[in-house]
Chains A and B, each alone.
Chain A
């Protein structure tokens, strides 16, 4: 009886493993189609007989896809926007989070409460006033002191970056993290007479790698993948990000699917690589905050 039960348990595990593997393949199928299509010719795609794999692998599709539009510029723009957003947001959010968690000054709790309100405000609610503010920003982009006559921060990196370098979510995340630090840490350093800012730099920051990594991953994903804000803020070829670049192919009457899929593969690739390298922090970000990137 014991052996039979053990065997049936093993059979069950194998069956369930196969089911799970099948689900995984179904989930990956759209990406597989994307990559395989990117190597085909349009003739092959339009042929009445369907084959999953390309007959000849056309690597030159990638060069061809990148020549449709200024892709070097799009990638450059996306990298610049993502990297600057991530770096500044780490500095500002962790500093504010530390102050809210550890320093004492009048008005601290009211300020923090007002930051919390922001968590409930979706970006889609504020995008119209934010857009108008960016356009009418005094003395920016040819504007006068009243924010007239120019384009403000429209079509600029500042416009794409500025609204995202700090926010309720990041401040909240850092504060919660620093609250869990033992109080003894501060008291020991205060005896040494270290200033609060130095305590933050030399004691807190070096111990904050997990939360900084989580926040960095979250910010990287949202900046790289963002579509709506660049769509609103930019209208020139030279300021497009990669996500906007993809929509060029969609605008054509006869979509060249092989080229579109080649460009899509390239746009998806950096985040997939980042995900495979830092899965732990992706998962941690979701689990601790519940927010989707």
Chain B
């Protein structure tokens, strides 16, 4: 604490330093309730979760320390491997189209087009609604016998497809719904990024006779690099948390083709009560997000460029 106080003396001069040196004890009281909640429900559970991951805790008996056995078991657990693979596939196929479509929509919306406000709201609304509600709507769209999608493809002479009930199409069906749901998010963040690009750059390019397409590739895309990186990081983290749509629409099936890491944590922890083993999965999940976040700290600029207004 001392160095900081002396620094404030230097920077603020003698008259103010007297006030600065006083300690605001009321600060402890104002922080206490919020910090207590944080400490009880985030910090302690994290520490306890690490501890459980080294035990065979099963909810009914007292936990016994078993070292790295849970982690060794994870490496051999084919189902967990499958869940990991599915989660990666989900991340890859939701993030890339979202980046591409989100950027195009943001560029369109950034222009002076007719119906901009309406379009922005319509594209964003799926992101406001709950994953449960949205899953119900898409269950209905994908319904093999009565759903609108199979009714539509029938017009083109295509036989009904078992979208969510076929291991080959189930994950893609979930992915398409998820792209639809979070496209608005990508679009909004890109829109903010676009608005932070100085218009003088485009004016100069225009003077030099650069076409709109050339401007897009030589100014827009490079200037949006931090935004793209930021969306990539946030989307990666969000993709690793995927659970609700999978639990509701497919329950991980058919043939485990849509089970994900969080879905496995839920099943092992709250259906089988293998709390120790599920905790090891949860810690792996934490380490993955930690690595992504640290990459963001090192190479991203924390979305500094995203400030609106």
Q: Does B234 contact A (CB under 8 A)?
A: yes
Using known A-B contacts A92-B33, A111-B35, A275-B128, determine if residue A133 contacts B44 with beta carbons closer than 8 Å. yes
Check B25 against A105 for contact (C-beta < 8 Å). yes
Within 8 Å CB of A27, what residues of B? Answer: 122-123, 125-126, 180, 183-184
Check B30 against A103 for contact (C-beta < 8 Å). yes
Check B279 against A129 for contact (C-beta < 8 Å). yes
Check A275 against B125 for contact (C-beta < 8 Å). yes
A214 CB, min distance to chain B CBs, angstroms? 11
**Cα(A162)–Cα(B283), bound, Å:** 23
Q: Which of A53-61, A69-77, A138-146, A284-292 contacts B (4 or more CB under 8 A)?
A: A284-292
Interchain CB contact (< 8 A) of A268 among B42, B112, B127, B133 = B133
Q: For chain A, give the interface size range.
A: 35 or more
Interchain CB contact (< 8 A) of A31 among B130, B137, B275 = B137
A201 CB, min distance to chain B CBs, angstroms? 11
Within 8 Å CB of B283, what residues of A? Answer: 125
Within 8 Å CB of B134, what residues of A? Answer: 30
Q: Does B252 contact A (CB under 8 A)?
A: no
A41 CB, min distance to chain B CBs, angstroms? 13
Q: Does A228 contact B (CB under 8 A)?
A: yes
Using known A-B contacts A111-B35, A196-B26, determine if residue A125 contacts B108 with beta carbons closer than 8 Å. no
List 30 A–B pairs whose Cβ atoms lie within 8 Å, in order of A's numbering: A19-B108, A21-B119, A23-B105, A27-B125, A27-B126, A30-B126, A31-B126, A45-B146, A46-B146, A92-B33, A96-B35, A107-B1, A115-B38, A121-B46, A121-B286, A124-B285, A125-B46, A126-B42, A129-B279, A166-B34, A168-B38, A195-B26, A225-B132, A246-B136, A250-B248, A260-B136, A282-B124, A288-B306, A290-B189, A293-B127
Check A129 against B45 for contact (C-beta < 8 Å). yes
Check B128 against A271 for contact (C-beta < 8 Å). yes
Interchain CB contact (< 8 A) of A121 among B27, B42, B112, B148 = B42
Using known A-B contacts A290-B303, A290-B306, determine if residue A243 contacts B282 with beta carbons closer than 8 Å. no
Check A286 against B185 for contact (C-beta < 8 Å). yes
Q: Does B289 contact A (CB under 8 A)?
A: yes
Residues of chain B from 93 to 140 with CB closer than 8 A to chain A in the complex: 105, 108-109, 111-116, 118-119, 121-134, 136-140
Q: Does A185 contact B (CB under 8 A)?
A: no
Interface residues, chain A, with chain B CB atoms under 8 Å away: 13-14, 16-17, 19-21, 23-25, 27-28, 30-31, 33-34, 37, 45-46, 50, 92-93, 95-96, 98-100, 103-109, 111, 114-115, 117-122, 124-133, 162-163, 165-168, 170-171, 187, 190, 195-197, 200, 221, 224-225, 227-228, 232, 243, 246-247, 249-250, 255, 257, 260-261, 264, 267-268, 271-272, 274-276, 279, 282-284, 286-293
Within 8 Å CB of B59, what residues of A? Answer: 132
Using known A-B contacts A126-B49, A129-B279, A246-B132, determine if residue A50 contacts B151 with beta carbons closer than 8 Å. yes
Which chain B residue lies CB-closest to A245?
B132
Question: In terms of DSSP, what is the predominant structure of the interface of chain A?
Answer: helix
Residues of chain B from 162 to 196 with CB closer than 8 A to chain A in the complex: 180, 182-185, 188-189, 192
B22 CB, min distance to chain A CBs, angstroms? 8
A80 CB, min distance to chain B CBs, angstroms? 17
Check A288 against B308 for contact (C-beta < 8 Å). yes
Not counting A124-B243, A131-B270, A196-B24, a sample of 5 additional A-B residue pairs whose C-beta atoms are within 8 angstroms of each other reads A28-B122, A120-B286, A227-B248, A290-B303, A292-B234
Within 8 Å CB of B83, what residues of A? Answer: none
Interface residues, chain B, with chain A CB atoms under 8 Å away: 1, 4, 16, 19-20, 22-28, 30-31, 33-35, 37-38, 40-46, 48-49, 52, 59, 105, 108-109, 111-116, 118-119, 121-134, 136-141, 143, 146, 148, 151, 180, 182-185, 188-189, 192, 230-231, 234, 237-238, 240-241, 243-244, 248, 262, 265-266, 269-270, 275, 278-279, 282-283, 285-286, 289-290, 293, 303, 306-308
Which chain B residue lies CB-closest to A28?
B122
Within 8 Å CB of B303, what residues of A? Answer: 289-290
Question: In terms of DSSP, what is the predominant structure of the interface of chain B?
Answer: helix
Using known A-B contacts A23-B105, A105-B25, A292-B127, determine if residue A33 contacts B132 with beta carbons closer than 8 Å. no
A262 CB, min distance to chain B CBs, angstroms? 11
Interchain CB contact (< 8 A) of A267 among B126, B133, B241 = B133
Within 8 Å CB of A195, what residues of B? Answer: 26
Within 8 Å CB of A37, what residues of B? Answer: 140
A86 CB, min distance to chain B CBs, angstroms? 14
Using known A-B contacts A16-B108, A283-B188, determine if residue A125 contacts B128 with beta carbons closer than 8 Å. no
Check B128 against A272 for contact (C-beta < 8 Å). yes
A227 CB, min distance to chain B CBs, angstroms? 5
Using known A-B contacts A14-B114, A105-B25, A130-B45, determine if residue A292 contacts B265 with beta carbons closer than 8 Å. no
**Cα(A177)–Cα(B101), bound, Å:** 32
Within 8 Å CB of B118, what residues of A? Answer: 21, 24
Within 8 Å CB of A98, what residues of B? Answer: 30
Check B306 against A282 for contact (C-beta < 8 Å). no
Interchain CB contact (< 8 A) of A125 among B109, B148, B282 = B282
**Cα(A103)–Cα(B125), bound, Å:** 40
